[in-house]
Amino acid sequence: MDAFASALLNWYDVHGRHDLPWQRARTPYRVWLSEIMLQQTRVATVIPYFERFVAALPDLPSLAAADEDRVLALWAGLGYYSRARNLLAAARTCMERHGGTLPRDIESLAALPGIGRSTAAAILAQAHDEPHAILDGNVRRVLARRHGVAGWPGTPRVQRVLWDHALQHTPTRRAADYTQAIMDLGATLCTRTSPRCGECPVADGCVAREQGRVAELPTPKPSKALPQRDTTMLVLRDTKGHVLLRRRAPTGVWARLWSLPEADANTVESVAMRHAARIEARRELPAFVHVFSHFQLRVTPVRFDVRRAASGVGDDPDSRWCAPDAWRALGLPAPVRRLLDRLEDDP
């Protein structure tokens, strides 16, 4: 075991996180679920979602048997919904090809939807104590600073360098603890801003600290202005308080989630009239902006109090009128859920 790993493990034994929900009854399923939820999401945010998810779907077979709406509803608000769809697809693949369990070899595990090399390594290390190197966002930051690796970590060249360092430091013993330790270090001390270098157990030998480059490493992704898109969301509410929801397309933003009908500024009235026999009242609600990783979406909600057509939504499986207790059980994008919650507060 090298000096870096040894010092990190000594720190982890005293200061590391040892009682996270997925560390209790540490099954491969629970570790896998936590690793997927923790992609691009903080631990404090993930914990209540994780506990709710495993209470509803406690193991891989129950996840594989669940329908997509239920999985997306459990995930609603956590964002990056492709993670939830990949979880379901991977669980079903495991039932079909791997005897209802996650495979133990890293190649087969990494090939499952939404997993990949680093997540597969983290699952095997934490669930089976196998010595596999990981390279998630926290670990990239720690290693880029430790070894003075410049360049955006998203490039193949920098990735290769960081993987070499990750492999070099990963010990053959206590792999599960080391994996958690290096993630904890990045999450609690070697943070992106305001790192606490004075408390770091591996500060000695850190190139970024010695050269005064902590603030500039890892090199950030080259920035560019986010483009803005505009849409109008129609809040169609009938005389019983039911709201019309539409399931989104299988690809694109919020794929397969339930949302509100949309229109451009010129077709709002005509889209509303497709679903209503008569419009009783119309009111424009305050606009808001939702930021995605690659663009900003400016939403103008328009509320219509309507009388429903006698035929309802017909045989369209992707449209439904929902009472509040029904739409709260569906997978809705977080901003749509907040919008409908405000509607209930101001009927």
Pair 235, 243: CB distance under 8 Å: yes
Pair 197, 214: CB distance under 8 Å: yes
3-state SS class at 330? coil
Both tokens of residue 105?
A: 């070899």
**For residue 76, what are the contacts with CB-CB under 8 A and spacing of at least 6?**
257, 330, 331, 332, 333, 334, 337
Tell me how crowded residue 89 is: count the other CB atoms within 10 A of its CB: 16
3-state SS class at 270? helix
Pair 236, 306: CB distance under 8 Å: yes
Nearest to 91 by CA among 81, 102, 83, 80: 102
228-237/296-308 β-pairing: parallel
* Triad 39, 45, 51: Cα angle to 5°: 95
Helix runs in the chain, H state only: 3-15, 28-38, 43-56, 60-65, 68-75, 82-97, 106-110, 116-128, 137-147, 156-169, 175-188, 207-210, 268-275, 324-327, 334-345
Give the C-alpha separation, 112 to 97, whole Å.
Answer: 11
CA–CA distances in Å: residue 256 to residues 9, 85, 135, 158, 263: 43, 9, 30, 35, 18
For residue 22, the 8-state DSSP code is G
Give the C-alpha separation, 182 to 175, whole Å.
Answer: 11
Active site residues per annotation:
35
